[in-house]
Amino acid sequence: MADVRPNVERPTTYTTVHEVLNSECESAFARYRKLTFADATFMRFALFELATIFLLPANGGVGLWLRKKLLRHFFGAFGRSAIIGRNCVFRHPNRIFLGDSVTVDDNCLLDARGCGSEGLHIGDHTIVSRGCTIKSKAGGIRIGRRVNIGGATQIISHSGIGIGDDVGIGGACQISGGTFAIQEFSKPPAQRTPVSNGPIEIGSGAWLATGVLVLDGVRIGEGSVISAGSVVTQAVGPRCVAQGIPAKKVFTLR
């Protein structure tokens, strides 16, 4: 699995959407563009806006074909036979890299705003089910090959996320985390500085059952199983079964 750890000291801080949207130095249009496709020229940005307006809601096989043929030009990479469902939202598509035969189902959000040069990578034959959110506030996101991501799951990077090959992620999982600087708890929540305890890493062949929450700074070893509804706050070794709040090792798989 690729190492996605950023070259910074922990904890990591980053700029929030609230800070961008409330900047008084830029127009509303400039702030919107910064959040959606900041690196594009004005013409490229305008073409992408038109493409999303007319192509993303399109139904049936014609809609799938048009999205495949026309949206690919805006992505960092767009593999063969990739499928994009209806009403998806893509932010900073030039930092999004889709492998061969990737499926992104209806109503998904892929946001690479905080990825920088590391990008948001989804490996070959991976399925992102309906209603998922994959978003970077800071740090790259790398999802391996043949990963199955269940519906309504949220994967949100605060300082990098790496997911190995053949991982199973159940529906409504939360792979995220983040907190606030402890010295700022006298401030209202929206004004506090967000902090991350480090990247999340999930080893190849791991299985996260329905409703698992994985917090930042955690590594889950290869082939491990996390039971439904568990909250993972610390490292889980390879080929372990863990469950509970917080998740603790129950036994080791042979």
Do β-strands 219-220 and 207-208 pair in parallel, antiparallel, or remain unpaired?
unpaired
Q: What is the pLDDT of residue 9?
A: 40
* Burial track 100-125 (b if 16+ CB lie within 10 A, e otherwise): ebbbbbebbebbbbbbeebbbbbbbb
Phi, psi values for residue 232, rounded to 5°: -95, 110
Structure tokens, 171 = 């529906």
- For 12-252, which CATH superfamily applies? Hexapeptide repeat proteins (2.160.10.10)
Name the residue ranges covered by the structural domains of the chain. 12-252
pLDDT given for residue 164 in this prediction = 98
- Residue 78 pairs in a beta bridge with 98
pLDDT in tens, 57-98: 999 999 999 999 999 999 999 999 999 999 999 999 999 999
Strands 194-196 and 12-13: antiparallel
pLDDT at 15: 59
194: left (phi over 0), alpha (psi -120 to 50) or beta: beta
> What integer is the mean pLDDT of 22-48?
86
What lies within 8 Å, CB to CB, of 61 at 6+ separation is none
Instruction: Express as a percent the part of the chain with pLDDT over 90.
Output: 76
| Mean pLDDT of all residues in 143-158 | 97
Q: How far is CA 12 from the centre of its chain?
A: 17
Please tell me the predicted confidence (pLDDT) of residue 8: 37
